[in-house]
Chains A and B, each alone.
Chain A
């Protein structure tokens, strides 16, 4: 971790020629992909899974063979066939089209949650870690409260109180996720604060915001990326769990958790109805879990092989 990201801070003052840096980062991306994919076949698997679901997340409803909301009275609960590879549901909607369009809800919402939770948590973590003393104590006790409970239970209580819809799912899950990042970033800041290059920056009269933004944060980014990757998977799980108990997406939205709820009535006669949304859900989480593990090994060679 320190060898790859450490260079960001030390070469920073030299690389003010913006173009050179852009070129460097482009070849850096290519270098990353080459090394990352050659490190373990699982890394390739995870990238493939994630790319597929990202494509579905962006264009799933366009790529889907049928309209995910189009009912058809004559096609109720059809088993998988060439016409309907994943079968149809109780009002004749094509399940494959619904699973494909569903990526937008499950994955899109998970991204949204982390896009809010990570900056909020990072901000709190930076303030707590850098300010120290009383501010640190207060902020950390606040995160203790949130971390003292199983996330899903707290999210459930919040979502139930706010009312069942996707917006409130986002609110509830953001509320339970940000403290993890506050903790993580604070720990990083405490460590990096003591490093020589930070001391040197201080001695040179670098302002605090600049010191944090340009020197401390870039060096603490690796664990945030790893945690964020794994958490996307868990946020997908949590979103669908809330939808499953009726607190998230509402029918007829083709959200995976909601589809599984509806499938329960027909589970004896239509195995395909619950199977495919569940597999999509599981594959997404597997993808992000594997990617997170791969990134950890890649960015932090000390844990390699354990």
Chain B
């Protein structure tokens, strides 16, 4: 039954990706501008443009173009980037780890601070901590990520000078030998502690920005989950057995409140993949977000659509994982 769900969701994933690629492909071809002209450049001769058109298969019927495009995607061939002149798949392999490292650490930050804040807000309802938690969650929901990034960069880089303004490592520093492509893990594995700390310094500001934004929904969900659980009969039973408050909260309440929060956490990881986009621009972070931004600036549809597809696929995949882990964590769902 778990397997059945996974298979069904995998089909949905494929279906959604086909649909999205169809939408974006149609949009691309609806645009009045000539893609061949874009590739060849504004000063190219008509013959050169014609050659590009033939080379890239742009003279074929639109449906054939779409089929070609889709067959390419299945083989992880996303076409050539106009900016880097490399295959888009190479670029993605190069930039995706930077985005993932940033997203994972930001989610970690949000969990480390958001879960306790939500729990404390609930068990000390209407206290100072609760008010603080509420302010943090309203601000986190409302602040534009790109603006928060600039403010944080201004304070901690321009004014205080505590952290660097961007990039994964200072210019001229060699990245650690590639094992996982996550600089933090690679530098530790290769025993390069200097690089490890430099990497952390560079991660600090973007992680603070994105972590703060994901903190809000996690705090909110944890708080309302805890409030609901704390009113249940089994909590009263646990109390009347004479268990201490700490035991009731940690052993009985949090475990049950964490389940609904899990959905939100999964959703946040998916949203972080998209959220890094704006923040990467500010911190010159060499991830797929900045890559997409450059693609927009240079009207490079192949790269942009590939990033859209990758983020979309990641989002659907994370949600699938959340649903599956739900079943392992909550036996009630497994049985029904």
Q: Is the CB of B305 within 8 A of A263?
A: no
- A275 close to chain B: CB less than 8 A: yes
**Which chain A residues border B271 with CB–CB below 8 Å?**
150
Q: Can you list, as one digit per residue, whether each of A231-251 has a CB less than 8 Å from chain B (1) or not (0)?
A: 001000100110011110000
**Which chain B residues border A267 with CB–CB below 8 Å?**
150, 153-154, 158
Cα-based distance from A289 to B282 in the complex (angstroms): 26
User: With contacts A150-B270, A274-B147, A278-B144 known, is A156 near B292, CB below 8 A?
Assistant: yes
Q: Which of A240, A257, A271 has the most CB of B within 10 A?
A: A271
Chain B interface secondary structure, helix, strand, loop or mixed? helix
- A8 close to chain B: CB less than 8 A: no
Q: Which of A188-196, A206-214, A280-288 contacts B (4 or more CB under 8 A)?
A: A280-288
Chain B stretch 127-145: residues in CB contact (< 8 A) with chain A: 138-139, 141-145
Determine which of A157, A244, A268 lies in contact with B158 in the assembled complex, contact meaning CB atoms within 8 Å: A268
- B297 close to chain A: CB less than 8 A: yes
Q: Is the CB of A161 within 8 A of B31?
A: yes
Chain A stretch 244-264: residues in CB contact (< 8 A) with chain B: 244-247, 257, 260, 263-264
Q: Is the CB of A145 within 8 A of B20?
A: yes
- A15 close to chain B: CB less than 8 A: no
Q: Is the CB of B228 within 8 A of A152?
A: no
User: With contacts A152-B274, A285-B141 known, is A264 near B282, CB below 8 A?
Assistant: yes
Chain B stretch 1-39: residues in CB contact (< 8 A) with chain A: 12, 15-16, 19-20, 23-24, 27-28, 30-31
Determine the residue in chain B with the shortest Cβ distance to A152: B274
**Which chain A residues border B311 with CB–CB below 8 Å?**
149-150, 153
Q: Can you list, as one digit per residue, whether each of B250-293 has a CB less than 8 Å from chain A (1) or not (0)?
A: 00000000000000000000110110011001100000000011
Q: Is the CB of B277 within 8 A of A157?
A: no
Cα-based distance from A240 to B278 in the complex (angstroms): 11
Q: Which of B146, B153, B158, B282 has the most CB of A within 10 A?
A: B146
**Which chain B residues border A145 with CB–CB below 8 Å?**
15-16, 19-20, 23
Chain B stretch 286-304: residues in CB contact (< 8 A) with chain A: 292-293, 295-297, 301, 304
**Which chain B residues border A289 with CB–CB below 8 Å?**
138, 141-142
Cα-based distance from A90 to B311 in the complex (angstroms): 36
Q: Is the CB of B150 within 8 A of A274?
A: yes
Q: Is the CB of B28 within 8 A of A161?
A: yes
Q: Is the CB of A153 within 8 A of B308?
A: yes
Tell me the smallest distance from the CB of B226 to a CB of chain A, in Å. Answer: 11
- A148 close to chain B: CB less than 8 A: yes
Q: Is the CB of A149 within 8 A of B312?
A: yes
Determine which of A157, A271, A274 lies in contact with B24 in the assembled complex, contact meaning CB atoms within 8 Å: A157
Q: Is the CB of A163 within 8 A of B270?
A: no
- B151 close to chain A: CB less than 8 A: yes
Number of interface residues of A (CB under 8 A): 41
Determine which of A154, A241, A244, A271 lies in contact with B308 in the assembled complex, contact meaning CB atoms within 8 Å: A154
Tell me the smallest distance from the CB of B293 to a CB of chain A, in Å. Answer: 6
Q: Is the CB of B147 within 8 A of A245?
A: no
- A144 close to chain B: CB less than 8 A: yes
- B83 close to chain A: CB less than 8 A: no
User: With contacts A274-B147, A274-B150, A274-B151 known, is A161 near B296, CB below 8 A?
Assistant: no
Determine the residue in chain A with the shortest Cβ distance to B28: A161
- A123 close to chain B: CB less than 8 A: no
Cα-based distance from A237 to B24 in the complex (angstroms): 23
Q: Is the CB of B151 within 8 A of A275?
A: yes
- A290 close to chain B: CB less than 8 A: yes
Cα-based distance from A148 to B151 in the complex (angstroms): 32
**Which chain B residues border A286 with CB–CB below 8 Å?**
138-139, 142
- B105 close to chain A: CB less than 8 A: no
Determine which of B20, B141, B296 lies in contact with A160 in the assembled complex, contact meaning CB atoms within 8 Å: B296
Cα-based distance from A306 to B260 in the complex (angstroms): 15
Q: Can you list, as one digit per residue, whether each of B146-172 has a CB less than 8 Å from chain A (1) or not (0)?
A: 110011011000100000000000000
Q: Is the CB of A245 within 8 A of B274?
A: no
Cα-based distance from A60 to B292 in the complex (angstroms): 34
Cα-based distance from A33 to B151 in the complex (angstroms): 37
Determine the residue in chain B with the shortest Cβ distance to A283: B142
Q: Is the CB of B147 within 8 A of A260?
A: yes
**Which chain B residues border A237 with CB–CB below 8 Å?**
142, 144
Determine the residue in chain A with the shortest Cβ distance to B270: A150
**Which chain A residues border B146 with CB–CB below 8 Å?**
241, 244, 257, 260
- B52 close to chain A: CB less than 8 A: no
Cα-based distance from A150 to B312 in the complex (angstroms): 7
Tell me the smallest distance from the CB of B203 to a CB of chain A, in Å. Answer: 20
Cα-based distance from A268 to B145 in the complex (angstroms): 19
Determine the residue in chain B with the shortest Cβ distance to A150: B274
Cα-based distance from A261 to B296 in the complex (angstroms): 15
Cα-based distance from A244 to B146 in the complex (angstroms): 8
User: With contacts A245-B296, A267-B153 known, is A162 near B147, CB below 8 A?
Assistant: no
- A120 close to chain B: CB less than 8 A: no
Q: Can you list, as one digit per residue, whether each of A264-306 has a CB less than 8 Å from chain B (1) or not (0)?
A: 1001100100110110011001100110000000000000001
Given known contacts A149-B308, A150-B312, A237-B144, what 16 new A-B pairs fall within 8 Å (CB)? Answer: A145-B19, A145-B20, A148-B16, A154-B20, A157-B304, A158-B27, A160-B295, A244-B146, A245-B277, A246-B297, A257-B144, A268-B158, A282-B142, A285-B144, A286-B139, A289-B142
Can you list the 5 inter-chain pairs with the closest CB atoms, starting with the nearest?
A: A161-B27, A150-B274, A278-B147, A285-B142, A145-B19
| 21 A-B contacts (beta carbon < 8 Å) | A145-B16, A145-B20, A145-B23, A149-B312, A150-B315, A153-B274, A153-B308, A156-B296, A157-B24, A157-B304, A161-B27, A161-B31, A162-B27, A241-B144, A244-B278, A247-B296, A274-B150, A274-B154, A281-B144, A282-B143, A286-B138
